[in-house]
Chain A
Amino acid sequence: MLEVCDLAVNYRNRWAIDGISFRLQPGHIAGLFGPNGAGKSTLIKGILGLVPIAKGAVSYDSQPLKRQLKKVAYVPQRNKIDWDYPVTVEKVVMMGRIPATGWFKQPSRNSREIVERALSRVGMTQFRQHQIRDLSGGQQQRVFLARAIAQEADLFFFDEPFNNIDYRTEEIIFEVFQELKQQQKTLLVISHDLGKTIANYDQLLLLNQRLIAVGERKRVLTNQNIQQTYGKLVSC
């Protein structure tokens, strides 16, 4: 179980997020929602220690998460990546095997098979030798999804995976989420879509610097909570 306890991140004398506490169970998909600037990405980065945290603690199975980062797969926002980098699709997915491979070693045959399966799962096998700069937005997102699958992690963090992608990619992403859920993995996903796709989440978190609400869909999506998060009523 992932436990976040009283987490706060300070960005240049301003609280980006403050007093965040929640738990995520294995075999659950959690959706993290909030307006722009609410601190959604910062929360994930704070959990993973990618930005310095001002206070609070994050543990996984009662041990500090910082010491178990090999169990984490993180998919950053696509616009944070240099897509002109000279690297092939297959190599990017193989990067997911680096923590398991270890220093000074070449990826094992097992790793190569895992990468092959991950590419096939997201329907990108025929693009394996392509350069990443030749891919569409949806294909880029599938490559990153394949990298996360190849990591065989226990905890998955996705930062806005649904931005500017095609319908088929969105379908594949949700299918993979369901498969990971069945394998008792823990997922935290940042999304903006409070529409139909919300049925895919077992747990919702509403964030606007503070955690407004956390829990099951019906309990969280009240008019009052949404107003507190977004500042106005949103129909859903």
Chain B
Amino acid sequence: MRQAIAIGFFLGILSAIVGSYLILQQMGMMGGVIAHAVLPGISIAFFLEINLAIGAFIAGILSALLVMGIETRSQIKVDSAMALTLSSFLALGIILINLLKTNQIDLSSILFGDILGVTAKDVWQTAIITIFIVVVTKLFYKELEFYTFDPIGAKACGLPVKLLYFGLICAITLTIVASMQTVGVLLVMSLLVGPAITAYLLIKELYQMMIVGAIIGIFSSISGMYISYYCDLPSGAAIVMTIFSCFMLAFLFSPSQGILNTPQNRHRLSVIIKSLYRR
């Protein structure tokens, strides 16, 4: 359990930072594509008896490059390119698992996560990835902010936008690889997107989005794990539902953007309270 909490802590920070860039770049679905696309990489890595994370990372990057290639070199819109890439990589993964006879891979733990299977090595791997991403984000914060806000303006100033984009793709893939064990590839999108958009409803600036997102991420991962442990539920699903609950609270009650916090609603509420008081 201690290892699970440690990994939840690091994943909370990691996913909020990377997720903030992901949603501001309007690439939310890209997380889903990369998450599904890691499967063939995992299969090949298992066959070659190398670290599964390396195979997953390479396959994830390749899928993102394929989406980018289809989008820039044709008139096809990015969502169609993503849908095709996602299912094709998943299909390739299934074929490879069959062909390479690597069906000893525990598919369900990869797809849905298995918190009890977290090892000390997984914790270290996630910790190192998190520290690396935090340091890189701190070093390139102003450039990444400029690029994600105004990519054309950034390119016109001479910033290496392709390199920055590739860096973001690598960061997204690393985050997915790190969260694979805990929430599984099917649910990782929620971890990437959920805490960041919840924070987005509450804050004014990008760095605040990362900090508030990290707090929500840590809270959701750890409390989700406790719920899964004590109620005997799958860990990934419990974490995702905790994230969604946090999001709904912010969506309804955010001081600046909550849908129940509009001037009309406040007025209605005061009318209701007054009428109750009169009775």
**Interfacial residues, chain A to chain B (CB-CB below 8 A):** 12, 45, 48-50, 69-70, 72, 74-76, 80-82, 85-88, 91-92, 94-95, 98-99, 101, 103-104, 107, 131, 147, 151, 157
Quick one: given A87-B145, A98-B143, are A82 and B26 in contact (CB under 8 Å)? yes
Report whether B157 and A91 are in contact in the complex, using a CB–CB cutoff of 8 Å.
no
CB-CB < 8 A to B145: which residues of A? Answer: 87, 91, 95
Closest 7 CB pairs of A and B: A69-B158, A74-B156, A95-B146, A99-B157, A85-B149, A48-B156, A76-B152
CB-CB < 8 A to A147: which residues of B? Answer: 153
Q: How far is the CA of A161 from the CA of B264 in the complex (A)?
A: 36
The contact of A50 among B149, B152, B204, by CB within 8 Å, is B152
Quick one: given A91-B205, A95-B150, are A50 and B157 in contact (CB under 8 Å)? no
Question: Is B75 close to A, CB under 8 A?
Answer: yes
Looking at B146, B154, B208, B209, the one whose CB has the most chain A CB atoms below 10 A away is B146
What's the nearest-Cβ distance from chain A to residue B202, in Å? 10
What's the nearest-Cβ distance from chain A to residue B146, in Å? 5
Contacts of B67-109 to chain A: CB distance below 8 A: 75
Report whether B157 and A70 are in contact in the complex, using a CB–CB cutoff of 8 Å.
yes
CB-CB < 8 A to A82: which residues of B? Answer: 24, 26, 149
CB-CB < 8 A to B152: which residues of A? Answer: 45, 50, 74, 76, 80
What's the nearest-Cβ distance from chain A to residue B57, in Å? 25
1/0 per residue, CB under 8 A from A, across B147-176: the answer is: 011101111111100000000000000000
CB-CB < 8 A to B148: which residues of A? Answer: 85
Report whether A86 and B153 are in contact in the complex, using a CB–CB cutoff of 8 Å.
no
Quick one: given A86-B200, A98-B146, are A76 and B153 in contact (CB under 8 Å)? yes
CB-CB < 8 A to B156: which residues of A? Answer: 48, 50, 69, 72, 74, 76, 157
Q: How far is the CA of A151 from the CA of B26 in the complex (A)?
A: 27
Q: How far is the CA of A60 from the CA of B150 in the complex (A)?
A: 24
Can you name the residue of chain A whose Cβ is closest to the Cβ of B202? A86
CB-CB < 8 A to B159: which residues of A? Answer: 98-99
Report whether A72 and B149 are in contact in the complex, using a CB–CB cutoff of 8 Å.
no
Question: Is B127 close to A, CB under 8 A?
Answer: no
Looking at A48, A76, A86, A101, the one whose CB has the most chain B CB atoms below 10 A away is A86
Majority SS of interface residues in chain B?
helix
Report whether B150 and A72 are in contact in the complex, using a CB–CB cutoff of 8 Å.
no
Question: Is B274 close to A, CB under 8 A?
Answer: no
Report whether B209 and A86 are in contact in the complex, using a CB–CB cutoff of 8 Å.
yes
What's the nearest-Cβ distance from chain A to residue B27, in Å? 12
Can you name the residue of chain A whose Cβ is closest to the Cβ of B138? A104
What's the nearest-Cβ distance from chain B to residue A137, in Å? 17
Question: Is B142 close to A, CB under 8 A?
Answer: yes
Q: How far is the CA of A227 from the CA of B209 in the complex (A)?
A: 53
Report whether A86 and B203 are in contact in the complex, using a CB–CB cutoff of 8 Å.
yes
Question: Is B227 close to A, CB under 8 A?
Answer: no
Quick one: given A48-B156, A72-B156, A98-B142, are A86 and B150 in contact (CB under 8 Å)? no
| Known interface pairs A86-B206, A87-B149, A95-B153; 19 further A-B residue pairs with C-beta atoms within 8 A, sorted by A's residue number | A50-B155, A50-B156, A70-B157, A74-B157, A76-B153, A81-B149, A86-B24, A86-B208, A86-B209, A88-B204, A88-B205, A94-B142, A95-B145, A95-B150, A98-B142, A98-B143, A131-B204, A151-B157, A157-B156
What's the nearest-Cβ distance from chain A to residue B113, in Å? 30
Question: Is B273 close to A, CB under 8 A?
Answer: no
Looking at B139, B140, B149, the one whose CB has the most chain A CB atoms below 10 A away is B149
Q: How far is the CA of A202 from the CA of B53 in the complex (A)?
A: 61
Quick one: given A69-B158, A82-B24, are A104 and B204 in contact (CB under 8 Å)? no
CB-CB < 8 A to B204: which residues of A? Answer: 86, 88, 131
Report whether A101 and B206 are in contact in the complex, using a CB–CB cutoff of 8 Å.
no
Report whether B206 and A99 are in contact in the complex, using a CB–CB cutoff of 8 Å.
no
